[in-house]
Structure 1
């Protein structure tokens, strides 16, 4: 069947096989995903994200995850949907998830593919925490140079920073460690529970991985224990427009990522935006301030875009075509 589809639709054999496999999954053990697709809540690409994320487990486990997705498809883009599927897989099949994580870690590799015109591509498959740390370090180096007036693009600066770090160039000399946040609740940290942790910008991680990071004496991570924190300001009123470093860190911990629904950029690499503008009476406090990455911070001022925040600080974004998207900090609302 896949061969016939490929001939009739100008698809490659591999692409046709993927379409057939997706169709079989949707019509057998992913009925909720199929229903969401038929209702127009997601497209075929988003459905394929669910299928690919569950292809590593049995049909029974995949079906259980699919049932838990019911009512959660709306206003989720494909990356956000896949993150949710992975979080559900961790909860439905924790032992299998940890086994697959260990297998992935053992299979880590670096590959080079040489292309045309003197350009090559490096592919690295490695644990998410290490990948996030490498990207964050290069992003920080790039941002520092951009602020000094460097005319290279951020993509160019990040790549050049990676090369400098790997080859021992001046870009890595005396650099402070990148700010990476790993969230873990206290009972899980103490081994009393096995709740997933969260690697900011990546999503949920297994409790084993979170504990390993938290107790590593050489860890570069900022371990965030989810309990009331002391020593951080709660409200600065209208005495200051720019929050001090303590308030900034509090907001980074509280929001974790850019407040724009579907954006996973870690909060430590964002701007702090006043929900109610300072000139309109908005305060510099934990409810009125929220992290927005530079792209979405600029987008807020574009015609037709509306950013509204309720009393709890939850952000709803309305696009020029009238569709609304609401921030979901936990991913399980």
Structure 2
């Protein structure tokens, strides 16, 4: 690899393009092998849902991407053999093959084979958007009545999604919203943004549309919003401006210290005292005078864990379920040494055959998957380790 990288520095533009094309074809063939391996794994494990989480842990992927890979592998090796052959020849990327699998997922196996045959000569050289459109069209032509039913089901399956980003931002997205309502909502937001802009508001149209949409969702208008609850983790030295260590928002990720201080000093902010070990940063205790003991225990566990404890899951602990490491019926105790937080999906995963969980006294969770892989989940410290107390 070093020799290849070194030789690239001496190539001309045309040769560089040829190398990029050859590598892309080679990657497609490797992706074909990965899809076959994941399909075989799912087959050996009986197609259980927990295969997705197992693949996510093993390949360091989020569950959504792992699920797409597993589903695409199963589709390519069963009902889309011609599309798989395009990967083997290096003429279609793995991402584009995923688009074909998604666009034809609702078809019967027989109709999938028909659409696959139609698509074989139409996908080479196409980008992923073109592939998706071609596959959707082929699927609709193969089963027109099914396409109509799918449209109804998609509209009934509308939902709202939150995507956490970096640098103090996040996105709210309406998934599968009814097209006429989405269009009408956009027109209303755009109209109000244009009115404010024409009235001298200095914000850009993009900023205005985003602010108006959020204000409407929070029941206000023009910047007036209702109080909302978020959990922000910041040590006292950062809060006082004595350092600029990143701040953690549960369910989102890290924020710059300046933004954390801005949020923490808001007019409706409520602060909670959290006591940590001065060296390790692990949460030891928190102010709880207004809580009953059982509520205080739950609050402590959620503050300590911050997020769902399965590695890779970022669900905020405040929306998670509490679970006994040792089941209650087997003398498990309801205390901070036996409780951990899981989102609803990962709480169910814990009871799947072959998954074992062990909670250490220090809060470290050891997870072993059905294939024997072991992963550790440690409660995150509030601040980084220090060589000596900060006072």
Q: Radius of gyration: which is bigger?
A: 2
